Chains A and B, each alone.
Chain A
Amino acid sequence: MQEDNKKENKNDRRDFLKKGLLGGSVLAAGAIGLNRVFAGEKVKVVSPDGKVYEASADNLKEFHPKPVTNDEARKGIAGKKFVMVIDESKCDGCKKCTEACQAMHFTESDREWMKVFTMKDSDATAPYFFPKPCFHCDNPPCTKVCPVNATFKRQDGIVLIDNERCIGCRMCMAACPYSTRFFNWSHPDPKQTAAIGDAPYSPESSYPRRMGTVEKCDFCPDMLRQGKMPACVSSCPMDAIYFGDQNEDAVTNASGVTVKLGQLLEDNAGYRHMEELGTEPRVYYLPPKNRKYPIPDVKNAEKGKKSKKMPGMDNGAMQM
């Protein structure tokens, strides 16, 4: 990984010099950084070789690190087993994770790869927030059914989609039991397309998106290659999301606190959603015990449900 990074940095630098662009960490952090910069403002940027420059925001341009080859993207990062832990006792449902994800991947607002559900398992139990990315299952029902191997499982545990190969049969959407996948029903939003610019496609960045193909949460592998956290993790103000490598037994949250994965799960009775389905998710949850926020309003859960209320159904939330 270290090696990879160095090599990439070299490439980056060449691009950087050739195009006369100001690249750097602000830029590499992607659209989130850029969105908040106003024209004319002076900002500090760090170039890939670590030097700090001051530059006018007008000169800043979207910087896309050169993506890895399709073969690399299908193999994944050697030696890693990525894992996520979401602490329901900390999540207050602010949806910053969803927003960061959407900015990172140029998704439309109705498209929530990281979706925050309001769950209530039964009448007597207390509601809680349930942020749900793709679980990157170890026994993924979605990749099994793909007729063309357009969606695949990598050695580092990540499940990705190659939208240059996907034929749009939506077999994988039917197969995923967690409603994780989205379909590009129409031409992508021109505003988003403009924002993406001429970035080359890679299954690791999931954009530019293409009509008639499937997309979903990708665990931000392009960030991971740069040694950075997925967008949702680093944007969570409650430090509710941990991310890391199972092989190292270490996970880190937005504040940079690194804890032992095994210990975290053991101390907090970690579990996986719907274990009985046998999909072996790579995302663990910590139960909402001693929560650090007010009890959620279950009315959230009602929105968007089928208009007719079904008898025998509690507030739309399902049990685990």
Chain B
Amino acid sequence: MTNDNFDLKKEIAILEEDCLRPTRTFGRSTQIWVGALLVVIGWGLYCFIHQLSHGLGVTAMRDYVSWGLYISTFVFFIGISHSGTLVSAILRITKQEWRRPITRSAELLTFVSLCFGGIQPIIDLGRPDRIANLVIFGRLQSPLIWDIISICTYFAGSTVFLFLPMIPDMALCRDRLTVVDSRFKRFKKWLYTFMAIGWTGTKSQWHRLEKTMNIMTIVIIPVAVSVHTVVSYIFAMTLRPGWDSTVFGPYFVAGALYSGSACVILGMAAFRKLYHLEKYITPRHFDLIGRVVLALTLIYAYLNLNEYWIPAYKMATAEGHLLSDLFYGSYSKVFWTCQFGTVLLPILIMSFPKGRKIGPLVVTCIIIAAGAWVKRYLIVVPTLLHPFMPIQEVPAAWSSYFPNYVEFSVTAACLAGIFLVITLFSKIFPMMAVWEVAEGIELDHDKKVAIEIREERVITDETELARIATLKNGQVTPTASLNETL
């Protein structure tokens, strides 16, 4: 037992060190990477200002295709934001222990993609200067207002969801900062102290944290589902062929989970490699989350079948024109590449244990993410090119659409913004929830003991005093000290 405890303590100390190490460095490669991102963002900003002063006419959008890349990207980014909820909330509720090392990055992805997804419709507005009208004259009957309400709610919720489990880690950072040399020590000291909001790890604090997390976990799931449902409603509430579909809500939610979970894998793989977290994020994790992505892809494939096969069987006039364009018309190559290449192929690959090894899984997830993005485009654009009234005698630019450099630049800037925020975040905050992983390690060691620890934590004051004492020394971790007292 003593031996075990000793190992555990050491292991957790190593874990903390591994998690905090990236926050202390800002190396050459990081600098170059951030610089490159800033260049992309700068160029995108320039294009956006150009668009602001000359109107949306500088994009490729025209009266038939009145929504294009921006709105497709909006749907895609909001879709990605489902990743955090999926991993953190659903896996937490189902008590999947392996979720622990990946919750932080998933929650961060949610937060960032919501930020940048949420601004897409604003970029797409003809009069962003009148945005206050949404508040002054807002009407509840518009699907756009539903979007704003549910996205804002989700944003608030996921910010809390990201922040809550960070509190103990912030306290850890705050206490550890004193012993390491850091470049922005002053700022960091202030930031960590501020964000730890006086966390000392008392039993009542732990108790409250756990309680709040439980509530948040339950609250955030319906909010997340509502978000992508109402995003689909801006399309489904119209009479247009291809959008006028009752399956659009679940179809979008499934698409969101499918692309979001794939992006979580990409984030996992990146941080694992860059920050040397191989010990914590293991092939087993990839295998398990690979299964989750597989299940979600199957659901998504099933909804795809419903979305296309039902109208395709009937081929009603207007719908039929749209579908023939997708199936064997000008969009057929992209359409079938999407369906076979990014849905069925990933299903095949991930069905085999070998396909869930890190390498193949990462490649599959890149395919899925790219495919999901293109698929959003295929949902938005072809429908607009197949209105009920025929397109006759209009300028050539109106009857086709492909995003131009302005749209690509602005969108690229948003993507770069996502990478930038994630990079900076990971340079300031630990990318794994240290205490959660530590708890997981303990649980791994001995489930029974761990359960006792938890009870102990709630009941006695002695352990708390001991923990605070050790915390103040700044050498032994709270969780390890718990074990000691046993």
Contacts and interface: CB of A to CB of B under 8 A. Distances in A.
B385 interface: yes
Nearest to B63: A182
A307 B329 CA distance: 11
B239 A305 contact: no
A37 to B, nearest CB: 30
Contacts, number: 185
Given A147-B144, A174-B238, A167 B392 contact: no
Contacts of A313: 321, 324
Interface string B128-147: 10110110111101111100
B125 A168 contact: yes
B57 interface: yes
Contacts of A190: none
Interface in B98-150: 121, 124-128, 130-131, 133-134, 136-139, 141-145, 148
A175 interface: yes
Contacts of A177: 238-240, 387-388
B62 interface: yes
B321 A306 contact: no
Interface stretch (A4-12, A99-107, A263-271, A296-304): A296-304
Interface residues of B, number: 62
A187 B54 contact: yes
Contacts of A166: 126-127, 130
Given A166-B126, A169-B144, A171-B234, A306 B400 contact: yes
Interface string B54-84: 1111100111101100000000000000000
A119 B391 CA distance: 11
> Which of A145, A174, A306 counts the most B-chain CB atoms under 10 A from its CB?
A174
B393 A303 contact: yes
B72 to A, nearest CB: 13
A242 B128 CA distance: 40
Interface in A23-43: none
Given A165-B137, A211-B55, A301 B392 contact: yes
A184 B234 CA distance: 21
A94 interface: no
B125 A148 contact: no
B390 A305 contact: yes
Interface in A202-261: 211-214
Interface string B373-408: 000000000001101111111111011100000000
A131 to B, nearest CB: 12
A154 B400 CA distance: 35
Interface in A138-153: 141, 144-150
B63 A167 contact: no
B317 interface: yes
B239 A141 contact: yes
Nearest to B237: A145
Contacts of B400: 306-307
A68 interface: no
Given A115-B392, A305-B399, 18 more contacts: A110-B398, A144-B142, A147-B148, A148-B139, A165-B130, A167-B127, A174-B238, A177-B238, A178-B387, A179-B63, A185-B57, A213-B127, A214-B126, A304-B396, A306-B330, A307-B399, A310-B329, A311-B328
30 contacts: A117-B392, A145-B143, A145-B234, A146-B139, A146-B142, A147-B139, A147-B144, A149-B137, A169-B144, A171-B142, A174-B66, A174-B234, A174-B243, A175-B238, A175-B239, A177-B239, A177-B387, A178-B389, A179-B64, A185-B61, A187-B55, A212-B56, A214-B126, A300-B393, A301-B390, A301-B392, A306-B330, A313-B324, A318-B388, A319-B317
